[in-house]
Chain A
Amino acid sequence: DIQMTQSPSSLSASVGDRVTITCRASQIISSYLNWYQQKPGKPPKLLIYAASTLQSGVPSRFSGSGSGTDFTLTISSLQPEDFATYYCQQSYFHSRTFGQGTKVEIK
């Protein structure tokens, strides 16, 4: 089975900081990689699909890159509403595996 590994598991950052989260797949998945944001008590929200395409309505400070097995989610200037948990998810296989999540906390 494919495994998705995110790093770090958590991070503390300040408003205005540049934040980078990485996701590694245990097998090559081309660009079949999505990113989601989840806040407590809310369902996940799609941010980026196909590794680098921004979902409609998502602020441009979010960006994604990567292909093959290594992927990155970047928030260029962290805003107060961005404190949340972020998940990568592969869509190459029918089993839509998620990474374990990265919690972004206020420093």
Chain B
Amino acid sequence: EEQLVESGGGLVQPGGSLRLSCTASGFTIGSYFMSWVRLAPGKGLEWVSGISGSGGSTYYEDSVEGRFTISRDNSKNTLYLQMNSLRAEDTAIYYCAKNNIVVVSAQDHSCMDVWGTGTAVTVSS
């Protein structure tokens, strides 16, 4: 069974840092694009960041660009999100997700088919 387990969340003061981890089992993360997605209190899902299977390409939502860094250690089958200069508006449940590629009508389509249970990040003084 394919599973993802996040860790590293917690309470941090504004301006502080946290590193989230996401460990996979049942599949090799190096074969997939991986994403971080968050759900803030009273808000909807927000895609935060993504990384290619090789780790050579990274992508960020505008509000976290320059503050967050996504990375992966394929030897540990683990995805990371380094979060610096944290703000109150970064308070959320953070999920990691596997982006599967499915072929439909000869086109490659990406969808997030495996999700972790999430780790809570609270930014408050």
Which chain A residues in 1-53 approach chain B with CB under 8 Å? 1, 30-32, 34, 36, 38, 42-46, 49-50, 53
Q: Which of the residues B61, B104, B116 comes within 8 Å of A31, measured between beta carbons?
A: B104
- In the bound complex, residues from chain B placing their C-beta under 8 Å from that of A87 are 44-45
- In the bound complex, residues from chain B placing their C-beta under 8 Å from that of A34 are 109, 111-112
Query: B117 within 8 Å of A by Cβ?
Result: yes
* Cβ distance A91 to chain B, nearest Cβ, rounded Å: 4
Query: A61 within 8 Å of B by Cβ?
Result: no
Whether B112 pairs with A46 at a CB distance below 8 angstroms is yes
Q: Number of contact residues on B: which range applies? A: 20 to 34
Interface string of B22-60 (1 = CB under 8 A from A): 000000000000010101000011110010000001010
Q: Number of contact residues on A: which range applies? A: 20 to 34
Q: Which of A34, A43, A55, A101 has the most CB of B within 10 A?
A: A43
Q: Which of the residues A1, A44, A50, A55 comes within 8 Å of B45, measured between beta carbons?
A: A44
- In the bound complex, residues from chain B placing their C-beta under 8 Å from that of A38 are 39, 45
Whether B109 pairs with A31 at a CB distance below 8 angstroms is yes
- Distance in angstroms between the alpha carbons of A100 and B47 in the assembled complex: 11
- Distance in angstroms between the alpha carbons of A32 and B113 in the assembled complex: 15
Supplied contacts A1-B62, A31-B107, A43-B117, 9 more A-B pairs, CB within 8 Å: A31-B104, A32-B110, A38-B39, A44-B37, A49-B104, A53-B104, A55-B113, A91-B110, A98-B47
